[in-house]
Structure 1
C-alpha cells in the first residue's frame, strides 16, 4: 500500500470515528491505526531477522527462480523475502546474490524498488573430447 493511500485511509477513519461515535470513535480509530502500524513493523522485523541470519549474498534457492519472480517496481521487502538474505553491495544502488551453482543475479534498486536486474549463468566446464583419451581406453 502506498504511504499516501495509508494516510488518506487513516484520516478517513479518524474523521468517520469522530462523526459517528465522537471522541470514543477517534480513540478507536487511533487504536486501529497503531495496531496496523505494529503489524507492519513486526512483518518488517521478521523478514530482516531471516535475511540477516543467512550468509551475505547467498540465495536459499536458485538464481534462475528468483530471476523469474522479479518485477519492475517490486519493493525491497518482497525482494528480501524471495532471496532469503541480504545482497552484496557492488555499486551505490546495485546488489548481487549468488546461488550454490554459481549463477549470479545483480539487481539495481531505485528508491527501495527493483529497477533492473541481470542474470549471469555460471559457465560449465566442457566435457572431455574422445580424442584426448589414451588409445587403450574405450570411448563411453
Structure 2
C-alpha cells in the first residue's frame, strides 16, 4: 500500500485543524482555499498534458534516443507523457501491473518503459541494426 494515500489526506485534515485552532473559521476557509488551489493546479497540468498528447499519434516520440537520455527512475507515467507529448503504446494486458508502454520515433528506434504502481522502474532503448551502417563515418 502506498503511504502517500494515507499521509496526504491526514496532512490536509491536520492543516484544516491547525487553521481552525489558530484563526477560527477564517483559518479553515484559508486552508481549504489553498487546498482547492493546489488541486486545481494539478488538474490543470493534467489537462494540458493530455491536450498536447491528443494531438500526436499514440506511441510516437520525436527522438527515442533523447527520450532514453531524459528518463529517470521513479518518475510517474504522466511525467513521461509530458516529456514525449504522446500517449505510449500499451504492450501489457490492460489493468496488469507492471504496465509496459512503448514510444517509437521516425527511424523505428523505440523506448520500452515498465511502470510499477505508476512509477518508472526500468526502460530499454532499441535501435534498428541498419541505422549504424546507414550513418556515414565522420572524419
Q: Which bin holds the TM-score, normalised by the shorter protein?
A: 0.7 to 0.9
Offset, 1:123: 2.1
Matched with 2:122 is 116
Q: Secondary structure at the match of 1:81?
A: helix
Taking the aligned partners of 1:101 and 1:64, their CA distance within structure 2 comes to 10
Offset, 1:33: 0.7
Taking the aligned partners of 2:65 and 2:7, their CA distance within structure 1 comes to 34
Deviates more, 1:3-12 or 1:25-34: 3-12
Q: Could you state the TM-score of these two structures normalised by the residue count of structure 2?
A: 0.80
* 1:11-42 superposed Cα distances (whole Å, 9 cap, x missing partner): 33212211111111111111111111111111
Question: Which structure's CA Rg is the greater one?
Answer: 1
Matched with 1:99 is 105
Offset, 1:98: 0.5
Structure 2: stretches of 5+ with no match in the other structure: 94-98, 135-139
Offset, 1:4: 4.6
Taking the aligned partners of 2:87 and 2:13, their CA distance within structure 1 comes to 35
Offset, 1:62: 1.1
Matched with 1:31 is 33
The partner residue of 1:10 within 9, 12, 35 is 12
Q: Could you state the TM-score of these two structures normalised by the residue count of structure 1?
A: 0.80
Matched with 1:73 is 74
1:47 corresponds to 2:49: yes
Taking the aligned partners of 1:49 and 1:6, their CA distance within structure 2 comes to 27
